[in-house]
Amino acid sequence: MSDTNLTNSWWKRLAIKSKAVWLTLSGVITALSVPAWQYYVVEQANVSIEIVKIERKQRDGVQFSLDSEELKLLEPYIPALFLYEASDLGGRGDKRISPSFELSILEKAFKKATRELKLISVKQLQLDKYISELSQFIDPTNKIKKLTEFRVSDFRLWSLGSYIDDIEAKYYEDQVLALTRNYSQLTFDELHQPKINTTALRYLLLDVREDLSDAISASEKQQNRLRNNIRSIERQLSALRQQFEQQYSYFVVEVIASNRGRSDTTLYSMGLLRIVFSDNNYVDINLTLNESYQHADLPASGTETYYYRSESLMDLTAQERKLVNSYWGSRGEVQIYLLDTQQQVYSSKPAPFVGNIKQKAMLDLLKDTAHGSMVSVSGY
C-alpha cells in the first residue's frame, strides 16, 4: 500500500472518530443547556402590575377636644353618652374632665345647634305653656285644673328631659308616680278614692316649675352666645375638617398583578408608592398589603387583585403633606413598586394621581379625540 493510501485511510478514521466525539459533546451540551434555558427563559415568573384605583380614606378614632370658648358652646348638643363615664351599675357616671370627640359628633352637634337657633321662639312658647299649666295645678283656687288630678302622663307628654337634666326629669316622674299611683302606701276615703298627699305634690310641682323657669333663662343666655359665635364655630369646624382630611388620611391602592410566566412567585407585603409632581420632584409613601398577610402569592399564568394601604399622611413631613394635598385629584402621576421573594422589582406604568383612574383616562381620551377633530377641521 502506498504512502498516499495510508495517509487517506488515517484521515478517514480520524474524521469518523471526531464526528462521534462531536456528536457526543453536542448531546451533552444540549442536555445541559435545555433545562437552563427553560429556567431562565420559560420557567421564570413574568409579572406586570397595574394601578386600577386609588382611594383616599380617613383614619378611624381621631378625636378633637373643645379647646376654644366657641366650640364649648356645642357641649349641650352632644349626647350625654360622650360626656359622662359609665358607672359600675351601667348608668351614668361622673362627667369626663377633658372629653374629646370624633369630628362627626361635633358636626352633628353643630347642625343640632343651628336648628335650635331657628326654633328658639317655639321652644320658649312651649316652656311658657308648661309653666302656665303647672301654675294652674298648683293654685288651690283653680277648680278646673285640680291638683289631685295631676298624673305622671302629663310630664311624659312634655318630654321634660328635653328641657332639664334627664336624670332629674326621671326623678320627678318617679316621685309623681309614687304620690299618685303607689296604692300600697296610699289611704282611701269613704268613697274608696285614694287620698293623695297634695302638700308633697304641690312642692314637687313648684320645684319643676322653678327648673323650667331656670331652663328658659339658661336657654336664652346659651342661644344668645351661640347666635353671636355661630360663624366662628363654623370656621373652626371647617379648619378641623381640613386638618382631619389633610393629616389623618391615607391611600388604598388597588393593584392588578399578572404573571405571564410559567413559574409561581410571591410578592412581599411591602411596597412603595411614588407620587411624581415634576422632574426630580416626588414623594415616596410606604405601602403594606391591606390584608393581614405577610406575602401575596401569584401563581404562574395567573392574575390577582391586591389592595395596598399607605402610611398615614401624618407620617410625612409638612412639605410632603402640602405637595400631596395640593396635587391630589388634579395633577401629578403615581407609580407603584413591588418586590418578590427572588428580589425582583416590578413597577407599574405611570397613572394619574386621582381617585377614579379609568374615568380620568376615558375623559383624557375624549378630550384628545375632540382636540384632534378641531385641528383637522381648522387644517381643512
CATH number of the structural domain spanning residue 272: 2.60.40.1890
User: Is residue 192 a part of any domain in this protein?
Assistant: yes
In a domain, 256, yes or no: yes
Identify whether residues 139 and 204 lie together within a single domain: yes
Report pLDDT digits (tens) over 47-58.
Answer: 999 999 999 998
What is the percent of the chain with per-residue pLDDT over 70, rounded to a whole number?
78
| pLDDT of the residue at 39 | 47
What's the confidence (pLDDT) of residue 334?
94
pLDDT value at residue 355 = 79
The pLDDT value given to residue 280: 86
Residue 173 near residue 155 (C-beta atoms within 8 A): yes
Query: Do 257 and 338 reside in the same domain of the chain?
Result: yes
Domain boundary among 214, 245, 276: 245
Residues 197 and 272 in one domain: no
What grid cell was written down for 126? 312651649
Asked if residue 212 and residue 269 are part of one domain, the reply reads: no
Asked whether residue 15 carries a pLDDT value surpassing 80, the answer given is no
Q: What is the pLDDT of residues 146-165, one digit of tens each?
A: 888 888 788 888 888 888 88
Confidence of residue 228 (pLDDT cuts 50, 70, 90): very high
Weakest mean pLDDT among 67-71, 175-179, 192-196, 241-245? 192-196
Nearest to 310 by CA among 50, 57, 53, 61: 57
Q: With bands split at pLDDT 50, 70 and 90, how would you rate the model's confidence at 131?
A: very high
pLDDT digit string (tens) for 294-333? Answer: 778 899 989 999 999 999 999 999 999 999 999 998 888 9
Q: How far apart, in whole angstroms, are the C-alpha atoms of residue 347 and residue 95? A: 54
Closest CA to 148 of 164, 163, 137: 137
Compute the half-sphere exposure of residue 323: CA atoms within 13 Å on the CB side of its CA.
Answer: 16
Residue 163 pLDDT: 85
CA torsion sign, 123 to 126 to 130 to 132?
positive
Mean pLDDT taken over the chain: 82
Domain count, the chain: 2
The mean per-residue pLDDT over the stretch 258-281 comes to: 91
Residues 174-182: contacts with CB within 8 Å, 24+ apart?
175/204, 176/150, 176/151, 176/152, 176/201, 176/204, 177/152, 179/204, 180/150, 180/151, 180/152, 181/151, 181/152
State the CB neighbour count (10 A cutoff) for residue 372: 10
Sign of CA dihedral 135, 140, 145, 146: positive
Residues 111, 241: one domain? Answer: yes
Give the pLDDT band of residue 176 (cuts 50, 70, 90): confident
CB-CB neighbours of 340 under 10 Å: 19
Pick the last residue of a domain from 195, 228, 245: 245
Q: What value does the mean pLDDT take over residues 178-196?
A: 67
**Inside any domain, residue 72:** no
Q: What are phi and psi of 183, to 5 degrees?
A: -65, -25
∠ CA 354-356-360, rounded to 5°: 80
Q: What pLDDT is attached to residue 358?
A: 61
**Does one domain contain both 160 and 222?**
yes
Residue that is last in its domain, among 245, 262, 297: 245
- Residue 95: the pLDDT is 83
Instruction: Tell whether 124 and 192 lie within a shared domain.
Output: yes
Shared domain for 224 and 254, answered yes or no, is: no
The residue to which cell 401629578 is assigned? 332
Residue 186 is assigned to a structural domain of this protein: yes
Q: What is the per-residue pLDDT across 234-248, written as a single tens digit (0 to 9) for each? A: 999 999 999 998 899
Same domain, 273 and 312: yes
Element (H, E) at 28: helix 3-37
Residues 260 and 224 in one domain: no
Q: What residues make up the domain containing 278?
A: 47-58+249-375
Looking at the structure, tell me whether residues 189 and 275 fall in a common domain.
no
The whole-number pLDDT of residue 296 equals 84
Query: pLDDT category, 359, cuts 50, 70, 90?
Result: low
